[in-house]
Amino acid sequence: MWKTIPLLAALLAVAACASPQAATPAATQTSSLQRNAESLQAKLRRTPDDAAAWAQLGATHVELARVTFDPQHHSRAEKALTESLRLKPDGNGEAFIGRGALANAKHDFAAARDWGQRAVSALPDSAQAQGVLVDALTQLGDDAGASVALQRMLDLRPGVASFTRAAYHFELHGRLDDARDALNRALESASSAEEAEFCRFHLDELKGRTNEEALEVYRGLVAKAPSPEYLVKYGKALDKAGRPQDARAQYDLALQQLRALGGDDLTAALITADHGDPAEALRYAEREWAKRQSVFTADAMAWALHVNKRSAEALPYSDKAIALGWRDAEVLRHREAILGSLR
């Protein structure tokens, strides 16, 4: 069993993603989810008043959107979850969890927090409900709230989903040894090859890769699952390899994906700050900051202000970005440039 994390209120989770995305073979994962969706649809043709099945179908479409990057699954999830709530508006914890997961996926973190709180009220012993809260509160910058929800999730179900969130939480606080320990515990808890691969991938991410390794890993990932996250990381590896045109193609594709999926102005701000119009980058960052004041948005605001030659205004945001102990290499690069311009 995972021991209680001491003073979790002094700590901070994927996907950010918001929980971390699984690095599993996209075709295998998609096929399994599609079969599940088809099975649920067949069941609902027979029993259309099954609120739980509608909620499960909605959750399945949220997952399909995550692995396929097809925004149509978000609208399908919305319809299924709305129908579940029409049939059972009160105490429908499964639908509340689904709506919270959908809101997190669409980066509407305030709504995700509200749905998560409703889910916890309906299902106080649900680790999934706590997970929705952990993801939303982390992204909203509510460190204390995220800490409480994470500890409750770990107490309820110490498995892959909770340990990987704990690892991310520790990483954001600069506690890398604890983050590695949490990921190793997640690996020990894996019940499938896909879950084990997920854990090994994030262990490798935490340990760091050579640029040659990064090129190979992200080339393969974007071929299977061209998420904005992987496209940006592949672009950075290409930049380091002296292939700026190939890198720019990845950044452009990432922006296309972000616009199709909607909601993620933070990643768009960071891409545009380095590879686009500085004024547009600041507009993206300001829109995101208006919605959530997390360490992530603080870094985006700092960098967007810096590239607009407003480094004195950028510094307080940079201070906030590292206030919890987060020492991401890109965040530190941004901070060094901001400090250097003020000397």
pLDDT in tens, 112-165: 999 999 999 999 999 999 999 999 999 999 999 999 999 999 999 999 999 999
Whether residues 55 and 191 fall in one domain: yes
C-beta neighbour count of 320 within 10 angstroms? 18
In this predicted structure, what is the pLDDT of residue 71?
83
Burial pattern 258-274, b for ≥16 Cβ within 10 A else e, equals beebebbbbbbbbbbbb
In this predicted structure, what is the pLDDT of residue 7?
30
- pTM of the complete model beyond 0.85: yes
Whether residues 61 and 87 fall in one domain: yes
Whether residues 269 and 176 fall in one domain: no
Whether residues 228 and 191 fall in one domain: no
Domain enclosing residue 217, as ranges: 213-342
Q: Which residues of the chain fall short of a pLDDT of 50? A: 1-25
Q: What is the mean pLDDT of the chain?
A: 89
Domain presence at residue 2? no
In this predicted structure, what is the pLDDT of residue 229?
86
Last residue of a domain, one of 207, 241, 267: 207
Whether residues 21 and 124 fall in one domain: yes
In this predicted structure, what is the pLDDT of residue 67?
83
In this predicted structure, what is the pLDDT of residue 13?
31
Last residue of a domain, one of 156, 178, 207: 207
In this predicted structure, what is the pLDDT of residue 194?
83
In this predicted structure, what is the pLDDT of residue 141?
94
Whether residues 173 and 298 fall in one domain: no
In this predicted structure, what is the pLDDT of residue 254?
92
Q: Can you read off the two tokens belonging to residue 180? A: 């590695």
Whether residues 107 and 62 fall in one domain: yes
Whether residues 165 and 68 fall in one domain: yes
Whether residues 170 and 89 fall in one domain: yes
Q: How many folded domains does the chain comprise?
A: 2
Is the backbone of residue 325 left (phi > 0), alpha (psi -120 to 50) or beta?
left
Whether residues 183 and 231 fall in one domain: no
C-alpha 185: how far from its chain's center?
Answer: 20
Nearest to 143 by CA among 15, 19, 7: 7
CATH of the domain at 265: 1.25.40.10
